[in-house]
Copies of this chain bind each other. A is one copy, B any other.
């Protein structure tokens, strides 16, 4: 088998080759362990929000996470303390200063943001636990959930960081002085040194980023690493403060929230979409990986990932819009009811939705509903292909349902499995959900009939000769024909015909109702309901192929049955009767062709 290389993989390989000659900058040297890094190491990963990773170069080489730990610990602090408590201790303003600037607000001592050292140490102070070990349990657990594997501390790097971290100790004591760190700062400082010394690979960083792009859930393990509500906050501080004194320029040029570490790693995230991780230990004057910066800029530019570019966000949520004229329930109606429904067909409207329901997609739906509301009676929203609904959107749908209700109109939902809980939590009436369009439309039709047609006529009594199959036959023909027909009775829920079965029989219902259905994942889909007078089974009767669906008695069903043998015998005894029956069968098939063609056209 020929191996086929994805053009995306090839793009990354070309980029790696293009950037590899860039040998500006130097490996971090403030502790001896970092100096051991091979300056030639160079790995690039792109990880998608659903967990697919493209990688090239030294993507499985371990190195220490360093400052890329800061936004992750900040997310954990938000989860453990809430936003208000964290903001009281640490600001979110870009400092305009270098990474190791102390940048405390003069009166409060509050660090400007969580991504400078002072802010990161204050963040560590907010992590649950009185001891370094307790804090690190939480931090390592969180980081491991982000990466999708158990991460560990590089003990040598930690010891070296701790042995030389005097400036950070000074910051720690200054924070204690301002009561930003309430307790003696040593356990917090040691936790800070340890979190910076956590060992990761470029591939790990990509998975961390994919988890942020995926709303906090690691897309490979399915484990939540960060509560959804704090993902935007973590990405915001990366966007405004992630690249220290060049953060404005970084967002302007790449449009991606990002964070780098002196270990040579850099992580950038396109929210909702993907992550870029680069590892190359040579650092520029700002302490960012030289190649890492070049790679992120190139990818953001080449692949057009700017977060302020909204061109991929203006998609309509309405996949298809139908009225009852092209989408009717499978419930058979009396002739008068059918007439009513036909005339009032556009008072029932069905919308097939897709994508994510957020404010601006739901706004479009509501706008369309409101425009149609004056002349409509019932709206059905099919949610089968909806990928999610956020609370704001759910609330608006609930409000819309209530607004329609006060006007005597209904908003129903079908196929809502994924969203049911969130909609009900937001106040949507639990009675307004239906398994599929068919049942929702049946309810809508019943409602319309009850309004339009105060007295609902029952099924009219039925005489055999009135059946469409026997059209054109006179009384004498019918007498003769009856000798060729079998009679059979089926009871409620009894199977009349099974899909896949061979069959030589054509059915006419003289009493009761039968349902045609096919099995689905979660139950059955109803294809049709046959009232008395219906003929069914023509297709298999004609082409002798297996039955294509199940037919089940809905109550006591009396049938007349024409077998193929009897039909064959009829040819000699009464050819004209056979011709009439053949004509009626052909007519019924022609009607079916026209009807499914209409259904097909409405779906295209």
Instruction: Give A contacts to B, CB under 8 Å.
Output: 1-2, 4-8, 10-11, 48-50, 52, 91-96, 113, 213-215, 228, 231-233, 235-237, 239-241, 245-249, 251-252, 255, 257, 270-274, 302-316, 319, 354-356, 358-361, 363-364, 366-367, 370, 373-374, 387-388, 390-393, 396, 399-400, 403-404, 407, 538-539, 542-543, 545, 548, 571, 575-576, 578-579, 582-583, 585-587, 589-594, 596-597, 599-600, 603-604
Contacts and interface: CB of A to CB of B under 8 A. Distances in A.
28 contacts: A4-B403, A6-B370, A6-B400, A7-B403, A8-B363, A10-B399, A11-B396, A11-B399, A96-B96, A236-B255, A236-B306, A272-B309, A274-B359, A304-B391, A304-B392, A307-B308, A312-B358, A314-B387, A315-B315, A316-B387, A538-B586, A539-B594, A543-B594, A575-B575, A575-B579, A589-B589, A589-B593, A596-B596
Nearest to A591: B543
Contact of A247 (B52, B93, B95): B93
A597 B548 CA distance: 10
Nearest to A375: B1
A396 B307 contact: no
A240 B232 contact: no
Contacts of A231: 308-310
A217 to B, nearest CB: 11
Most chain B beta-carbon contacts within 10 A, residue among A354, A407, A539: A539
Contacts of A316: 387
B91 A249 contact: yes
Contacts of A249: 91-93
A360 B396 contact: no
Contacts of A390: 304, 311
B314 A272 contact: yes
A131 to B, nearest CB: 31
A538 B370 contact: no
Nearest to A538: B590
A603 B319 CA distance: 13
Nearest to A270: B360
Given A314-B272, A539-B590, A374 B245 contact: no
A306 B271 CA distance: 11
Contacts of A366: 6-8
Contacts of A1: 374
Contact of A359 (B245, B304, B354): B304
A356 B582 contact: no
Contacts of A214: 314
Nearest to A384: B604
Contacts of A596: 593, 596-597, 600
A232 B306 contact: yes
A228 B306 CA distance: 12
A29 B311 CA distance: 41
Contacts of A404: 4
